Structure 1
């Protein structure tokens, strides 16, 4: 099924027939991220952490104590939302990256939960590989195209990616990987500097030449770490991939099973 997508830039208004969908906590504090946008611009109500309010719809991803909910519980609320969209077909739903900000989950953990939803939704572009089709196979051409300084350190990497000679699925993958926080901390607040340093050490002199573990190389290594975690491979695999000695298939659906 083909859906519509948005580029995940911050918005402050939508057409009257379009609902802003965001991840929330059950306390309804709406203090940051898309929840704050919903409060300031789309009629979300303090203390209401679930369901419709104004021109917004809250999907809980954290409990009333502002703690991360298990994926199985989030899936329950997403299933409720699917029913809501089906029962209100005249409305459209602008879905943000629910659960992928403060709640700390990854796109590949949340996005597949929305599969099978009615077509009156607008997804963040990072969801595309997971709701519409599988991730693309990794090839030497693909990784050479987007893992380069001119893309990673662009003033607007997402916009730069759209100019690359890649398929839409490959552009979505590149956007996901480059926008995944890894350095100095990931989206769960974990320090990843030691892991990135190990990756740089393994690759240094083999396919790249890094002067030191300064910020630039660490950011570069963080992108590679994000790709390695998404596809579940190691440094040796990446070297062989970069050198054109192998391709890497996308992870199987069971790798995104609920925790």
Structure 2
């Protein structure tokens, strides 16, 4: 089944026929993340941690003590939402990347729970490989040649190297269309100075930069350029779900990396 997708940027208003679906805690404390957005802009009610309220729908991912729920329990609440969405086909449902923030789960763990849901759902772009039937072909295997073709100054800082855009810079490579599509997703993912959720990622980026520096790169300090460069690497790591040690092996040509849906 084919779904609509959103770019996961923060929204504060939606059409009247579109419900904001967010991750909640059973205590109904909507103090941070998408839950706070739901409370401030979409009618989520304090003390109500599950189901429909106003223009929002809460799917619990944390218990009443604000602790991570087991995936099996979250799956139960997702199944409830699937039934609700099917029974209200005239409405649309704007699903956030619930469970992937404070609850601490990976997209690769949460997104598959939604597979097979009714078509009136608008998913985060990052969920696409896990809910689309034909997604396998859209996520090619990462190779040394592929990543080195776009993780470089000529593409990341295209404006200093005679290109007009990421697309223009990528057209000068010999990447396939599928590989270019992945590169564009990664290059357009903003992680520095803040990510799409407004979170500062400086410490995380600095830590990963330190682990890569001297092994496969030689960057001087935590300059803005170095942080932007490493943010592209982190975006790729998050999209394909691997760590910096795997990236080092990938960069050196010691291994290829498949997307989780192909593993």
What interval of TM-score do these two structures reach, taking the shorter chain for normalisation? 0.7 to 0.9
Taking structure 1 as the reference length, what is the TM-score of the superposition? 0.74
Q: Which residue is equivalent to 2:174?
A: none
CA distance in 1, matches of 2:5, 2:24: 21
In the TM superposition, what is the alpha-carbon distance from 1:220 to its structure 2 partner? 3.6
Q: What is the aligned length?
A: 236
CA distance in 1, matches of 2:229, 2:94: 32
Deviation string for 1:30-59 (max 9, x for gaps)?
112211111111111111111100111011
In the TM superposition, what is the alpha-carbon distance from 1:19 to its structure 2 partner? 0.8
- Superposed, 1:145-224 pairs within 5 Å as 146-148=150-152, 167=178, 170=182, 174=186, 179=191, 183-185=201-203, 196-204=209-217, 209-212=218-221, 216-217=225-226, 220-221=229-230, 223-224=232-233
Q: 1:250 to 1:10 in 2, by over 3 A?
A: closer
Structure 2 portions without partners, runs of 5+: 159-164, 172-176
Q: Which residue is equivalent to 2:258?
A: 249
Q: 1:9 to 1:228 in 2, by over 3 A?
A: closer
In the TM superposition, what is the alpha-carbon distance from 1:145 to its structure 2 partner? 5.1
CA distance in 1, matches of 2:102, 2:127: 17
Structure 1 portions without partners, runs of 5+: 155-159, 187-191, 255-259
Contact 1:200 1:221 in 2 (8 A): no
Contact 1:12 1:41 in 2 (8 A): yes
What's the RMSD between the two structures over aligned residues?
A: 3.4
Taking structure 2 as the reference length, what is the TM-score of the superposition? 0.73
Moved more, 79-88 or 213-222: 213-222
Contact 1:196 1:225 in 2 (8 A): no
Contact 1:146 1:161 in 2 (8 A): no
Q: Which residue is equivalent to 2:162?
A: none
